Amino acid sequence: MLENRLNTYSTIIDVPREETASLLAKVLAITSFGFLVTACGVATAPPWASLPGLLAVFALIFAISGARRRANPSLALGLFLALTYFMGWEIGPLIHRYIQNFGSAIVFQAALTTGLGMAAMGCVAYLFQINYRRIAGIGFAALLCLMLLGIASMFLHFLTPSTYSWLTLGIFAVLTVGDFARIRAGGDGQSAVSLSLSIYLDAINIFLAVLQLLSGRRRE
Protein backbone atom coordinates (compact mmCIF):
# COMPACT_ATOMS: atom_id res chain seq x y z
CA MET A 1 0.00 0.00 0.00
CA LEU A 2 3.00 2.27 0.09
CA GLU A 3 3.63 2.66 -3.64
CA ASN A 4 1.12 5.47 -3.95
CA ARG A 5 3.14 7.45 -1.38
CA LEU A 6 6.19 7.55 -3.64
CA ASN A 7 4.68 10.25 -5.87
CA THR A 8 6.14 13.73 -5.56
CA TYR A 9 4.16 16.45 -3.85
CA SER A 10 4.28 20.13 -4.72
CA THR A 11 3.90 22.98 -2.27
CA ILE A 12 0.73 24.88 -1.39
CA ILE A 13 -1.36 26.05 -4.35
CA ASP A 14 -4.00 28.56 -3.38
CA VAL A 15 -6.95 27.33 -5.42
CA PRO A 16 -10.42 28.73 -4.63
CA ARG A 17 -12.58 26.13 -2.88
CA GLU A 18 -15.30 26.32 -5.51
CA GLU A 19 -12.81 25.28 -8.20
CA THR A 20 -11.98 22.06 -6.38
CA ALA A 21 -15.53 21.23 -5.27
CA SER A 22 -16.20 19.08 -8.35
CA LEU A 23 -12.90 17.24 -7.93
CA LEU A 24 -13.67 16.56 -4.27
CA ALA A 25 -17.17 15.34 -5.20
CA LYS A 26 -15.73 12.91 -7.75
CA VAL A 27 -13.15 11.62 -5.28
CA LEU A 28 -15.74 11.09 -2.55
CA ALA A 29 -18.16 9.39 -4.95
CA ILE A 30 -15.49 7.01 -6.28
CA THR A 31 -14.19 6.26 -2.79
CA SER A 32 -17.67 5.64 -1.36
CA PHE A 33 -18.53 3.25 -4.18
CA GLY A 34 -15.20 1.55 -3.61
CA PHE A 35 -16.14 0.86 0.00
CA LEU A 36 -19.41 -0.73 -1.13
CA VAL A 37 -17.40 -3.02 -3.41
CA THR A 38 -15.05 -3.79 -0.50
CA ALA A 39 -18.05 -4.80 1.61
CA CYS A 40 -19.01 -7.26 -1.15
CA GLY A 41 -15.44 -8.57 -1.13
CA VAL A 42 -15.56 -9.07 2.63
CA ALA A 43 -18.90 -10.87 2.38
CA THR A 44 -17.62 -13.28 -0.28
CA ALA A 45 -14.07 -13.79 1.02
CA PRO A 46 -13.17 -17.43 1.74
CA PRO A 47 -11.09 -18.22 4.85
CA TRP A 48 -7.89 -18.47 2.77
CA ALA A 49 -8.39 -15.17 0.93
CA SER A 50 -5.99 -12.88 2.82
CA LEU A 51 -2.77 -13.71 0.95
CA PRO A 52 -4.32 -13.80 -2.57
CA GLY A 53 -6.11 -10.56 -1.75
CA LEU A 54 -2.89 -8.90 -0.58
CA LEU A 55 -1.01 -9.94 -3.72
CA ALA A 56 -3.86 -8.76 -5.96
CA VAL A 57 -4.02 -5.39 -4.18
CA PHE A 58 -0.30 -4.75 -4.66
CA ALA A 59 -0.47 -5.77 -8.32
CA LEU A 60 -3.48 -3.53 -8.93
CA ILE A 61 -1.80 -0.51 -7.30
CA PHE A 62 0.99 -0.77 -9.87
CA ALA A 63 -1.54 -1.41 -12.66
CA ILE A 64 -3.46 1.76 -11.70
CA SER A 65 -0.22 3.72 -11.84
CA GLY A 66 0.40 2.36 -15.34
CA ALA A 67 -3.12 3.23 -16.49
CA ARG A 68 -2.63 6.75 -15.14
CA ARG A 69 0.58 7.19 -17.14
CA ARG A 70 -1.27 6.03 -20.26
CA ALA A 71 -4.02 8.58 -19.56
CA ASN A 72 -6.72 5.90 -19.53
CA PRO A 73 -9.18 6.99 -16.80
CA SER A 74 -11.78 4.31 -17.60
CA LEU A 75 -9.21 1.53 -17.20
CA ALA A 76 -7.89 3.14 -14.01
CA LEU A 77 -11.41 3.26 -12.56
CA GLY A 78 -12.02 -0.39 -13.40
CA LEU A 79 -8.71 -1.38 -11.82
CA PHE A 80 -9.52 0.67 -8.74
CA LEU A 81 -12.85 -1.11 -8.29
CA ALA A 82 -11.10 -4.46 -8.73
CA LEU A 83 -8.61 -3.39 -6.08
CA THR A 84 -11.39 -2.49 -3.65
CA TYR A 85 -12.96 -5.93 -4.17
CA PHE A 86 -9.73 -7.78 -3.49
CA MET A 87 -9.09 -5.52 -0.50
CA GLY A 88 -12.28 -7.06 0.84
CA TRP A 89 -10.67 -10.46 0.32
CA GLU A 90 -7.51 -9.32 2.09
CA ILE A 91 -9.29 -8.06 5.20
CA GLY A 92 -12.33 -10.35 5.00
CA PRO A 93 -11.05 -13.25 7.13
CA LEU A 94 -9.91 -10.75 9.78
CA ILE A 95 -13.31 -9.01 9.78
CA HIS A 96 -15.06 -12.36 10.10
CA ARG A 97 -12.94 -13.22 13.14
CA TYR A 98 -13.83 -9.91 14.78
CA ILE A 99 -17.52 -10.60 14.14
CA GLN A 100 -17.26 -14.11 15.57
CA ASN A 101 -15.46 -12.90 18.69
CA PHE A 102 -17.18 -9.57 19.38
CA GLY A 103 -20.28 -9.39 17.19
CA SER A 104 -21.03 -7.32 14.11
CA ALA A 105 -21.65 -4.13 16.12
CA ILE A 106 -17.91 -3.58 16.62
CA VAL A 107 -17.37 -3.48 12.84
CA PHE A 108 -20.14 -0.93 12.33
CA GLN A 109 -18.80 1.15 15.22
CA ALA A 110 -15.30 1.14 13.70
CA ALA A 111 -16.71 2.07 10.29
CA LEU A 112 -18.76 4.95 11.74
CA THR A 113 -15.78 6.21 13.74
CA THR A 114 -13.61 6.08 10.64
CA GLY A 115 -16.18 7.94 8.55
CA LEU A 116 -16.58 10.71 11.10
CA GLY A 117 -12.83 11.00 11.53
CA MET A 118 -12.24 11.22 7.79
CA ALA A 119 -14.88 13.94 7.53
CA ALA A 120 -13.22 15.91 10.33
CA MET A 121 -9.78 15.64 8.73
CA GLY A 122 -11.21 16.70 5.40
CA CYS A 123 -12.69 19.79 7.05
CA VAL A 124 -9.31 20.65 8.59
CA ALA A 125 -7.65 20.38 5.18
CA TYR A 126 -10.27 22.62 3.56
CA LEU A 127 -10.43 25.22 6.32
CA PHE A 128 -6.69 25.83 6.50
CA GLN A 129 -3.94 26.22 3.94
CA ILE A 130 -1.64 23.28 4.50
CA ASN A 131 1.71 22.52 2.90
CA TYR A 132 0.78 19.00 1.90
CA ARG A 133 4.25 18.30 0.51
CA ARG A 134 5.67 18.68 4.01
CA ILE A 135 2.79 16.79 5.62
CA ALA A 136 3.15 13.92 3.14
CA GLY A 137 6.91 13.75 3.67
CA ILE A 138 6.55 13.60 7.43
CA GLY A 139 3.77 11.02 7.23
CA PHE A 140 5.61 8.80 4.79
CA ALA A 141 8.81 8.88 6.87
CA ALA A 142 6.82 8.04 10.00
CA LEU A 143 5.09 5.19 8.18
CA LEU A 144 8.40 3.67 7.12
CA CYS A 145 9.67 3.92 10.70
CA LEU A 146 6.50 2.27 11.98
CA MET A 147 6.94 -0.60 9.54
CA LEU A 148 10.52 -1.13 10.69
CA LEU A 149 9.40 -1.01 14.32
CA GLY A 150 6.66 -3.52 13.57
CA ILE A 151 9.11 -5.92 11.94
CA ALA A 152 11.56 -5.57 14.84
CA SER A 153 8.76 -6.04 17.36
CA MET A 154 7.84 -9.36 15.77
CA PHE A 155 11.15 -10.68 17.18
CA LEU A 156 11.70 -8.47 20.25
CA HIS A 157 8.05 -7.99 21.32
CA PHE A 158 8.36 -4.41 22.55
CA LEU A 159 5.21 -3.03 20.86
CA THR A 160 1.76 -4.04 22.06
CA PRO A 161 -1.05 -4.31 19.47
CA SER A 162 -2.75 -1.29 21.01
CA THR A 163 0.40 0.84 20.85
CA TYR A 164 0.96 -0.14 17.22
CA SER A 165 -2.66 0.69 16.41
CA TRP A 166 -2.44 4.12 18.05
CA LEU A 167 0.72 4.89 16.09
CA THR A 168 -0.94 3.68 12.88
CA LEU A 169 -3.98 5.82 13.60
CA GLY A 170 -1.87 8.94 14.17
CA ILE A 171 0.28 8.46 11.07
CA PHE A 172 -2.63 7.83 8.73
CA ALA A 173 -4.51 10.77 10.20
CA VAL A 174 -1.58 12.96 9.14
CA LEU A 175 -1.50 11.35 5.69
CA THR A 176 -5.26 11.84 5.33
CA VAL A 177 -5.01 15.55 6.06
CA GLY A 178 -2.21 15.76 3.50
CA ASP A 179 -4.25 13.93 0.87
CA PHE A 180 -7.30 16.12 1.39
CA ALA A 181 -5.05 19.18 1.28
CA ARG A 182 -3.71 17.99 -2.07
CA ILE A 183 -7.28 17.87 -3.40
CA ARG A 184 -7.87 21.32 -1.90
CA ALA A 185 -4.82 22.52 -3.85
CA GLY A 186 -6.19 21.25 -7.16
CA GLY A 187 -4.98 17.65 -7.13
CA ASP A 188 -1.35 18.25 -8.16
CA GLY A 189 -2.14 16.98 -11.65
CA GLN A 190 -3.46 13.64 -10.34
CA SER A 191 -6.67 12.09 -11.65
CA ALA A 192 -9.75 11.61 -9.49
CA VAL A 193 -9.06 7.85 -9.39
CA SER A 194 -5.48 8.34 -8.13
CA LEU A 195 -6.69 10.76 -5.45
CA SER A 196 -9.47 8.33 -4.51
CA LEU A 197 -6.92 5.54 -4.12
CA SER A 198 -4.94 7.60 -1.60
CA ILE A 199 -8.04 8.48 0.43
CA TYR A 200 -9.28 4.89 0.24
CA LEU A 201 -6.02 3.40 1.54
CA ASP A 202 -5.90 5.98 4.33
CA ALA A 203 -9.43 5.06 5.41
CA ILE A 204 -8.80 1.30 5.28
CA ASN A 205 -5.77 1.60 7.54
CA ILE A 206 -7.58 3.91 9.95
CA PHE A 207 -10.55 1.52 10.04
CA LEU A 208 -8.34 -1.47 10.87
CA ALA A 209 -6.52 0.49 13.58
CA VAL A 210 -9.80 1.61 15.15
CA LEU A 211 -11.14 -1.94 14.98
CA GLN A 212 -8.09 -3.25 16.82
CA LEU A 213 -8.41 -0.57 19.50
CA LEU A 214 -12.11 -1.27 20.01
CA SER A 215 -11.50 -5.01 20.27
CA GLY A 216 -8.71 -4.41 22.79
CA ARG A 217 -11.11 -2.36 24.89
CA ARG A 218 -13.70 -5.14 24.73
CA ARG A 219 -11.14 -7.68 25.93
CA GLU A 220 -10.40 -5.52 28.95
- Provide CB contacts within 8 A for 65, sequence distance 6+: 3, 4
Q: What is the pLDDT of residue 5?
A: 42
Burial of 122 (0-12, 13-18, 19+ CB in 10 A): buried
- Give the pLDDT score at 18: 52
Cβ count within 10 A of residue 147: 11
Residue 8 CB-half CA count within 13 A: 3
Helix (H) or strand (E) run with residue 164 in it: helix 161-184
Q: Give burial (CB, 10 Å; 0-12/13-18/19+) of 159.
A: middle
**What are the distances in angstroms from CA 130 to CA 134, 142, 179, 181, 196?**
9, 18, 10, 6, 19
Each of the 220 residues of the chain gets a pLDDT tens digit; together they read: 444 443 433 444 445 555 678 888 999 999 999 999 999 999 999 999 999 999 999 999 999 888 877 778 889 999 999 999 999 999 999 999 999 999 999 999 999 999 999 999 999 888 888 888 888 888 889 999 999 998 998 888 888 889 999 999 999 999 999 999 999 888 888 889 999 999 999 999 999 999 999 988 766 5
* Prediction pTM value: 0.87
Q: Note the pLDDT of residue 68.
A: 77
Instruction: Look at residue 189 and give its three-state secondary structure.
Output: coil
Under a CB-based contact definition with an 8 Å cutoff, are residues 129 and 166 in contact?
no
Closest CA to 133 of 182, 65, 170: 182
Identify whether the C-beta of residue 211 lies closer than 8 Å to the C-beta of residue 164: no
